[in-house]
Amino acid sequence: MIKTEEAEVLEHPAIKYFRFGAPGNPHIWCEGCGIGQIWYYTAIAIDELGLDPNSVVWVGGSGCTGRMCTYWKYDYMHTLHGRPLGFATGIKLANPDLNVICHMGDGETSAIGGNHLIQTARRNANVTAICVNNYTYGMTGGQYSPTTPIGSLSATSRYGLVEDGFDLCELVTAAGATYVARSTTTNPRPSINFIKKAIQKKGFSFVEIISQCPTFYGRSNKLGDNSIEMMDWMKKTYVRKEQFDKMSAEERQGKKPWGEFVDTERPEVVSALHQLAKTQREAYRG
Amino acid sequence: MGNPRLLTGIHLMQGQQACAEGALAAGCNLFAGYPISPATEIAEAMARRLPQAGGIYLQGADELDSLTIVIGSVWGGYKSMTATSGNGICLMQENIGYAAMTETPCVIVDMMRAGPGTGIATKSAQGDIYQVRYGSNGDYSIIALAPESPQEMFDLTVEAFNLSEQYRVPAFILGDEILSNLRERVVIPSEVKVTPRRKPTEKPGEGYKTWAVPEGQWVPPMPAFGEGYHMAVSSFARTADGAPSQAYDVQKEMVGRLWNKVEANADKLTRVEDGFVEDAEVLVVGFGSVARSVKAAVRQARANGLKVGFSRLIGIWPFPDQYVARVGKNVKKVVVAEMNMGRVSREVQRCLGRDTEVILSSKPGVAMHTPVEILDQIRKVM
Amino acid sequence: MAPKVKTGYRITVNHNYCTGCGNCVEYCPMHVLEKDSKLNKRGVYAPVTVALDKCTGCKLCEMYCGNFSIAVGAKSNADEEGTV
Tell me the nearest-neighbour CA distance from A269 into chain C, angstroms.
35
Q: Cβ atoms within 10 A of the Cβ of B59, count?
A: 17
- Is C14 close to A25, i.e. CB distance below 8 A? no
Task: Find, in chain C, the residue whose alpha carbon is nearest to that of A3.
Answer: C48
Burial class, B324, CB count within 10 angstroms (exposed 0-12 / middle 13-18 / buried 19+)? buried
Chain A: partners with 3+ C-beta pairs within 8 Å = B, C
- Say which of B54, B76, B227 has its CB closest to residue A277: B54
What global pTM score does this model have? 0.95
> Among all residues of chain A, which has the CA nearest to that of C44?
A31
Residue B302 · residue B282 · CB < 8 Å: no
Inspect the interface and report whether the beta carbons of C63 and A10 lie closer than 8 Å: no
d(CA A153, CA A156): 8
Q: In terms of CA atoms, which chain A residue is nearest residue C12?
A: A4
Distance CA(A131)–CA(A205), nearest Å, equals 11
User: Beta strands C47-49 and A256-263: pairing type?
Assistant: unpaired
Contact partners of C by the rule of 3+ C-beta pairs under 8 A?
Answer: A
Query: Dihedral, CA atoms, B249, B254, B256, B262, nearest 10 degrees?
Result: 170
B178, containing H or E segment: helix B177-181
User: Chain B partners of A21 at a C-beta cutoff of 8 Å?
Assistant: 241, 243
ipTM of the complex: 0.95
Instruction: Judge: C14–A34 Cβ closer than 8 Å, yes or no.
Output: no
pLDDT digits (tens), chain B, 382 positions: 689 999 999 999 999 999 999 999 999 999 999 999 999 999 999 999 999 999 999 999 999 999 999 999 999 999 999 999 999 999 999 999 999 999 999 999 999 999 999 999 999 999 999 999 999 999 999 999 999 999 999 999 999 999 999 999 999 999 999 999 999 999 999 999 999 999 999 999 888 999 999 999 999 999 999 999 999 999 999 999 999 999 999 999 999 999 999 999 999 999 999 999 999 999 999 999 999 999 999 999 999 999 999 999 999 999 999 999 999 998 999 999 999 999 999 999 999 998 899 999 999 999 999 999 999 999 999 9
Comparing CA positions, the residue from C55, B78, B247, B212 lying closest to residue A10 is C55
Question: Between chains, do B69 and A86 touch, taking CB under 8 Å as contact?
Answer: yes
| CA distance to partner chain A, nearest, from residue C7 (Å) | 16
Whether residues B71 and A286 touch (CB distance < 8 A) is answered with no
The answer to whether B106 touches B164, Cβ cutoff 8 Å, is yes
Nearest-neighbour CA in chain A from B1: distance (Å): 5
A7 touches chain C (CB under 8 A): no
